[in-house]
C-alpha cells in the first residue's frame, strides 16, 4: 500500500516533467499523509492541469463522509469492479508527483519505517483515480486515491503492496479518458521492475505526521534503530512494599 509519501523536487522541475499549464510554487514535503491536500495532474479540455485534492477518495454517492471509510488506495486487481472506483478508473485518472514513499516492516515485534525511491533518484508519478464529492449544501471536494498492485519479488520483502508508478512515456496513455475503454491502461497497473527501486531504514520520527523535515529521509544506523526500539518500550513502574508487610502464605483480598 502507500500511506505516506515525499515531494522534494523543485516545482519548476515537476512542471517540466508533467507538462501542466499552471506554475504553482510549493515547499518540499517530507511526510505527506492521508486527508491532506496533495497535487494531482489531470487532463481537462485537452490540456494538463495541476490541482490540489484531498488524499482519500469519496465516491459521489456517499451521503455522509464522516461514516465512510477513508479510501487512500485502490487495488489494481479490483478497481474496475469496486463501486467506489469503477467510474473513476474509466473517466477520472490522474498522476501524483512524488519523490519517494515510506513503508513499514515488522522487525522483532515492532514496525520499522523504510524510505523507498527510484534507484536513479528521478521523481515518481503515482497512478491515481479521483472523484469530486458534492455535499448536501452544494459544497464540492476533490478527492483522490493511489492505485496499488501486488509487490514484485524485491519490494515484497517490505510489503505485499506497492503504488503503481507510471513512466513519463506512458503519461498520455494513462491520462487519456476520452472514452470508457480501459484496455490500453491495464498493462500499466503493475508493480515496478525488479531493481527499479531502492530503500533504506529511517527514523521512527516519520510515524508522527507533525514531523516534516529532511532529516526523515536520512538512513538510520543499526545502533540508532536499537535505541529507538528501546526508547519505545513501555516503562515498568516498580511497586513499593510497605514496611513490615510479610507474606504469611494466606493471601489477601486487598
Query: Which sequence positions are flagged as catalytic?
Result: 2, 103
Task: List beta partners, residue 74.
Answer: 147
Q: Is 178 exposed, middle or buried (0-12, 13-18, 19+ CB in 10 A)?
A: exposed
CA-CA-CA-CA torsion for 153, 154, 157, 160, nearest 10 degrees? -50
8 A C-beta contact, residue 98 and residue 18: no
Q: Is 28 exposed, middle or buried (0-12, 13-18, 19+ CB in 10 A)?
A: middle
Beta strands, E only, 9-109: 29-32, 37-44, 47-55, 73-75, 93-98, 100-107
d(CA 229, CA 203): 10
| Backbone phi and psi for residue 113, each to the nearest 5 degrees, phi listed first | -80, 145
Amino acid at each position: 500500500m502507500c500511506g505516506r509519501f515525499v515531494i522534494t523536487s523543485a516545482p519548476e522541475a515537476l512542471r517540466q516533467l508533467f507538462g501542466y499549464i499552471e506554475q504553482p510554487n510549493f515547499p518540499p514535503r517530507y511526510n505527506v499523509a492521508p486527508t491532506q491536500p496533495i497535487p494531482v495532474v489531470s487532463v481537462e479540455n485537452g490540456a494538463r492541469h495541476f490541482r490540489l485534492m484531498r488524499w482519500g477518495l469519496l465516491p459521489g454517492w456517499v451521503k455522509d463522509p464522516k461514516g465512510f471509510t477513508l479510501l487512500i488506495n485502490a487495488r489494481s486487481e479490483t478497481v474496475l469492479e469496486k463501486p467506489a472506483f469503477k467510474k473513476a478508473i474509466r473517466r477520472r485518472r490522474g498522476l501524483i508527483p512524488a519523490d519517494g514513499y515510506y513503508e513499514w516492516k515488522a522487525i522483532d515485534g515492532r514496525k520499522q519505517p523504510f524510505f523507498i525511491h527510484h534507484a536513479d533518484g528521478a521523481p515518481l508519478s503515482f497512478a491515481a483515480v479521483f472523484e469530486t464529492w458534492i455535499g448536501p449544501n452544494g459544497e464540492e471536494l476533490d478527492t483522490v486515491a493511489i492505485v496499488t498492485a501486488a509487490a514484485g519479488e524485491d519490494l515484497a520483502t517490505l510489503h505485499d503492496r506497492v503504488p503503481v508508478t507510471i513512466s513519463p512515456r506512458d503519461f498520455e496513455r494513462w491520462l487519456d479518458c476520452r472514452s470508457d475503454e480501459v484496455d490500453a491502461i491495464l498493462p500499466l497497473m503493475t508493480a515496478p521492475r525488479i531493481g527499479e527501486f531502492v530503500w533504506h531504514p529511517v527514523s521512527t520520527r516519520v510515524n508522527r505526521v507533525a514531523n516534516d523535515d529532511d532529516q526523515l529521509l536520512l538512513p538510520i544506523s543499526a545502533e540508532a534503530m536499537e535505541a529507538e526500539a528501546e526508547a519505545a518500550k513501555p516503562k515498568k513502574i516498580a511497586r513499593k512494599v510497605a514496611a513490615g508487610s510479610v507474606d504469611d502464605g494466606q493471601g489477601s483480598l486487598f
